[in-house]
Chains A and B, each alone.
Chain A
Amino acid sequence: MILPASGFDMAASKKSVAQAADNGSESGSPPAFTREQDLQALRDMLLIRRFEEKAGQLYGMGAIGGFCHLYIGQEAIVVGMQMTLGQGDQVITGYRDHGHMLACGMDAKGVMAELTGRRGGYSKGKGGSMHMFSKEKHFYGGHGIVGAQVSLGTGLAFANRYRGNDRVSLAYFGDGAANQGQVYESFNMAELWKLPVVYIIENNRYAMGTSVTRSSAQTDFSKRGVSFNIPGEQVDGMDVRAVKAAGDRAVKWCRDGKGPYILEMQTYRYRGHSMSDPAKYRTREEVDKVRHDQDPIEQVRNRLLADKVAEDELKKIDAKVREIVNMAADFAQNDPEPDASELYTDIYR
């Protein structure tokens, strides 16, 4: 394990609560991906990476305003989790949401145009980076208030249980959000009523400038459900295979009607919290080291190369992804702003 500062142990997934689903791979590296799965993961993660790089550039050019929280470094989590989902399963997250939307299959153009505040954006330009939704893709937002999505995601699970279907809801939140009171109010209800919700804590080690050790009495987030009897696991969130394997266990647990499940995804954000971040709370060496040793995309690329996939083939994938992102950026800059009359629409229906 390679992150010295935090004492993370990402190499082995760890069960925290006795009754966590049998993880079957105690011994170390997660089940291998087929070449097709690796290629798929590479494509999906690259799309998020390139999209976010472009969003960062457009912000610097003034085409995107307000807050813009990039997902670079954390791509394996949403991509791995998406591989575990079925039709109709719901996803909800906070404001660092671009990756989740792309993973859900939302259109890059519509997401980018929302970032630039144009009428072709998913919220017609009215929501911006932090507030996007797609009923069609079962993506329930995009929420700006830290922790709010945890109760909301529990409510999505409540609706599934109420209707008696076998859908599962994924509620993503950060290590900082994990300290909000409503998280624990939700945990209690979810276990009490056996709601099918996977709580995915994206532990990227910082909440703005506050490291986990400075904000949390219990830094093993997989244990945060212990007093509610919710099983939890720590997962190497930089390895898409580990994410998928843990996700499969968690989603099955929920679908089998056993109640909620907690996954602590150990990950890292490469960029600042938002575009304005003094970045004085960590060293450049720390960032470089994670990038160099654990990058989720490089891991897959290296596996594919070792599997004798031609370098050229991988370059082609990257070129294709760049084309999608460039088209999205073009659209997002040329699409008109919303019509002035939109100011007063969508307040009631």
Chain B
Amino acid sequence: MPIQVLMPALSPTMEKGNLAKWLKKEGEAVRSGDVIAEIETDKATMEVEATDEGTLGKILIPEGTNDVAVNTPIATILADGESAADLGKAEAPKAARMPARDVSSEVAESRAPVGEGKPMISDPKRPAGTAAEIPEDPDIPAGTEMVTMTIREALRDAMAEEMRRDGDVFLMGEEVAEYQGAYKVSQGLLEEFGARRVIDTPITEHGFAGVGVGAAFAGLKPIVEFMTFNFAMQAIDQIINSAAKTLYMSGGQMGCSIVFRGPNGAAARVAAQHSQDYSAWYSQIPGLKVIAPYSAADYKGLLKAAIRDPNPVIFLENEILYGHTGPVPKFDDYVLPIGKARIARAGQHVTLVSWSNGMTYALKAADELAKEGIEAEVVDLRTLRPMDTDTIVASVRKTGRAVTVEEGWQQSGVGAEIVARIMEHAFDYLDAPVMRVSGKDVPMPYAANLEKLALPSIAEVVEAAKAVCYR
């Protein structure tokens, strides 16, 4: 039976790609291992090898075709003795592709107003200067043009704008310059700003994080990219002991304006050492600000704010979200306030609190819950430190019920902190104990079935929300 050649995946998160070139023609003999075509994505180019012997029977996807979904049949190979007449019977190879990680394709951008006006409480134990004084998002005047872009582009634009604005801002990290970023986030920056300001480092995280902090002591404003935050564990001493504590230790003399950014959390099928969520780790540290956005507009507006902030900022991105698109206001200078949560969806029955890719589960769960008559209010924290307690508490006072959603671990997690704050500030308003949906208490397994189980799911969020609603 003729065999179908399927569009292969080049990377753990690839969903589609372009068929750049056919290297074999219809009717040409192919041997197992022959390169028959080249495919590419925005990240990479790869050769497609034949896995079977025979003749290239029919090319189903012509070269030059863009956005071919992974697993689409792209050609058929006829075994010896078969002819074009057999083409109709083609069969797909056995190993079916595991579905890519379940992540929503649309980035919710609803700017639904908060039910109540100004937040009414502030934390008595916390000094002023955190959530209560944080300004609202800038008003987006009616008629502002919105540009749809990927989160990857939003990040790049944010860096480029800040680098144009301030000559002290520079970018350093592994593969950020000539390679255009391991995840193509810094695309084009070397070209525009040159090798003085877009700097490829050796693989020496502890060293270059320290170099960045030292440069910031001297007044520069480094953006230090970690290829992923898993590798920032090599550098965490410089981040915490040098970047976070020096302002305090110097009695306010010597601060450091520096951004540490890169993808955080689980990608797909990259196993335990490459799949950790560090939200809780950094959010524990006084002296750091920690940002973990979800929507494209927030990625842009908050990265610009982070670069301008005079403090060390940890900017946690998410690889799964990089390719997702959303509308970003076409402002000359779209800067959002650090420390302000956003109501991503208004509702009155239960509050779901999340951030970063956790929002994917929360928003989809809210859709499901709505079908059953439960209106969930979804709070996108955006910043983990300082945490916008007021927005969370205002929502919980309205709904009386809450569920936190995170990909990281539960013990000493960000969810645990949120629960504690709700308990401290809205205990009397609660109609049910707050529940946490999180990553399971295990290192991330590689096997597809186990990885799925280890991560939170939409179903778990729905179940928890119903449980706190006693439904």
Write the A56-79 contact mask toward B (1 if CB under 8 angstroms, else 0): 111111110111000000000000
Question: Which of B9, B45, B269, B446 counts the most A-chain CB atoms under 10 A from its CB?
Answer: B446
A-side contacts of B230, CB under 8 Å = 144-145
Docked complex: A117-148 residues within 8 A CB-CB of B: 117-118, 123, 125-131, 143-147
- The answer to whether the Cβ of A165 comes within 8 Å of any Cβ in the partner chain is no
- The answer to whether the Cβ of B104 comes within 8 Å of any Cβ in the partner chain is no
Task: Please judge, given known A-B contacts A126-B445, A208-B179, whether A61 and B269 are in contact too, CB under 8 Å.
Answer: no
Closest to A279 in B: B45
Question: Which of B44, B48, B202, B274 counts the most A-chain CB atoms under 10 A from its CB?
Answer: B202
Docked complex: B344-397 residues within 8 A CB-CB of A: none
Q: Which of B125-133, B417-425, B448-456 contacts A (4 or more CB under 8 A)?
A: B448-456
- The answer to whether the Cβ of B70 comes within 8 Å of any Cβ in the partner chain is yes
Please state if A131 and B271 are interface contacts (CB–CB under 8 Å).
yes
Closest to A347 in B: B442
Q: A147: which of B8, B97, B203 is its contact (CB, 8 Å)? A: B203
- The answer to whether the Cβ of B96 comes within 8 Å of any Cβ in the partner chain is yes
B-side contacts of A159, CB under 8 Å = none
- Separation in Å of the A330 CB from the closest CB of chain B? 10
Q: B11: which of A123, A214, A276, A279 is its contact (CB, 8 Å)? A: A276
Task: Please judge, given known A-B contacts A61-B8, A63-B95, whether A338 and B449 are in contact too, CB under 8 Å.
Answer: yes
A-side contacts of B197, CB under 8 Å = none
Question: Which of A126, A177, A179, A207 counts the most B-chain CB atoms under 10 A from its CB?
Answer: A126
- The answer to whether the Cβ of B416 comes within 8 Å of any Cβ in the partner chain is no
- The answer to whether the Cβ of A181 comes within 8 Å of any Cβ in the partner chain is yes
A-side contacts of B70, CB under 8 Å = 62
> Contact size class for B?
35 or more
Q: A127: which of B233, B271, B453 is its contact (CB, 8 Å)? A: B271
Write the A273-298 contact mask toward B (1 if CB under 8 angstroms, else 0): 00111111100000000000000000
Please state if B51 and A57 are interface contacts (CB–CB under 8 Å).
yes
Closest to A176 in B: B203
Docked complex: A215-271 residues within 8 A CB-CB of B: 215-216
Closest to B9 in A: A62
Please state if B98 and A62 are interface contacts (CB–CB under 8 Å).
yes
Write the B430-443 contact mask toward A (1 if CB under 8 angstroms, else 0): 00000000001111
Q: B269: which of A53, A128, A177, A180 is its contact (CB, 8 Å)? A: A128
Please state if A60 and B9 are interface contacts (CB–CB under 8 Å).
yes
Task: Please judge, given known A-B contacts A130-B273, A337-B448, whether A343 and B442 are in contact too, CB under 8 Å.
Answer: yes
B-side contacts of A180, CB under 8 Å = 203-204, 234
Docked complex: B40-78 residues within 8 A CB-CB of A: 41, 43-46, 48-49, 51, 70-71
A62→B97 CA distance, assembly (Å): 4
- Separation in Å of the B326 CB from the closest CB of chain A? 24
Task: Please judge, given known A-B contacts A128-B446, A145-B230, A208-B174, whether A62 and B271 are in contact too, CB under 8 Å.
Answer: no
Task: Please judge, given known A-B contacts A60-B8, A278-B44, whether A131 and B446 are in contact too, CB under 8 Å.
Answer: yes
B-side contacts of A63, CB under 8 Å = 95
> Contact size class for A?
35 or more
A-B CB contacts (within 8 Å), total count: 183
A315→B51 CA distance, assembly (Å): 20
Q: A67: which of B9, B12, B51 is its contact (CB, 8 Å)? A: B12
Task: Please judge, given known A-B contacts A131-B271, A278-B179, whether A62 and B8 are in contact too, CB under 8 Å.
Answer: yes
Please state if A144 and B442 are interface contacts (CB–CB under 8 Å).
no
Task: Please judge, given known A-B contacts A145-B273, A207-B203, A277-B44, whether A66 and B10 are in contact too, CB under 8 Å.
Answer: no
Task: Please judge, given known A-B contacts A62-B8, A333-B94, whether A117 and B447 are in contact too, CB under 8 Å.
Answer: yes
Task: Please judge, given known A-B contacts A179-B204, A180-B203, A216-B202, whether A144 and B274 are in contact too, CB under 8 Å.
Answer: yes
B-side contacts of A162, CB under 8 Å = none
B-side contacts of A214, CB under 8 Å = 178, 200
A-side contacts of B44, CB under 8 Å = 272, 276-279
Question: Which of B45, B203, B274 counts the most A-chain CB atoms under 10 A from its CB?
Answer: B203
- The answer to whether the Cβ of B175 comes within 8 Å of any Cβ in the partner chain is yes
- Separation in Å of the B237 CB from the closest CB of chain A? 11
Task: Please judge, given known A-B contacts A62-B71, A66-B446, whether A143 and B14 are in contact too, CB under 8 Å.
Answer: no
Question: Which of B41, B274, B454 counts the most A-chain CB atoms under 10 A from its CB?
Answer: B274
Please state if A145 and B234 are interface contacts (CB–CB under 8 Å).
yes
A-side contacts of B271, CB under 8 Å = 66, 126-128, 130-131, 144
Task: Please judge, given known A-B contacts A145-B230, A176-B203, A343-B450, whether A61 and B95 are in contact too, CB under 8 Å.
Answer: yes
- Separation in Å of the B111 CB from the closest CB of chain A? 35
A114→B445 CA distance, assembly (Å): 11
- The answer to whether the Cβ of A155 comes within 8 Å of any Cβ in the partner chain is no
Write the B208-231 contact mask toward A (1 if CB under 8 angstroms, else 0): 000000000000000000000011
- The answer to whether the Cβ of B268 comes within 8 Å of any Cβ in the partner chain is yes
- The answer to whether the Cβ of A342 comes within 8 Å of any Cβ in the partner chain is yes
Closest to A274 in B: B11
Task: Please judge, given known A-B contacts A125-B450, A145-B230, A343-B453, whether A275 and B46 are in contact too, CB under 8 Å.
Answer: yes
A-side contacts of B1, CB under 8 Å = none
- The answer to whether the Cβ of A40 comes within 8 Å of any Cβ in the partner chain is no
- The answer to whether the Cβ of B93 comes within 8 Å of any Cβ in the partner chain is yes
A128→B178 CA distance, assembly (Å): 30
- The answer to whether the Cβ of A25 comes within 8 Å of any Cβ in the partner chain is no
Q: A344: which of B98, B207, B231, B442 is its contact (CB, 8 Å)? A: B442
Question: Which of B71, B442, B447 counts the most A-chain CB atoms under 10 A from its CB?
Answer: B447
- Separation in Å of the B61 CB from the closest CB of chain A? 15
24 contacts between A and B (CB under 8 A): A53-B49, A62-B6, A65-B448, A66-B268, A66-B270, A67-B274, A131-B273, A144-B273, A147-B203, A177-B203, A179-B202, A180-B203, A181-B204, A181-B207, A208-B182, A214-B200, A215-B203, A275-B10, A276-B11, A276-B44, A338-B447, A338-B449, A342-B445, A343-B442
When A and B form their complex, which 4 residue pairs have the shortest distance between CB atoms, in order from nearest? A62-B97, A128-B446, A65-B269, A60-B8
Having A128-B270, A209-B175, A277-B44, one finds 12 other A-B pairs with CB under 8 Å, namely A60-B49, A62-B97, A127-B272, A129-B446, A176-B202, A180-B234, A209-B178, A210-B175, A214-B200, A275-B9, A338-B450, A343-B454
Enumerate chain B interface residues (CB-CB to A < 8 A): 6, 8-12, 14, 32-33, 41, 43-46, 48-49, 51, 70-71, 93-98, 174-175, 178-179, 182, 200, 202-204, 206-207, 230-231, 233-234, 267-274, 440-443, 445-450, 453-454
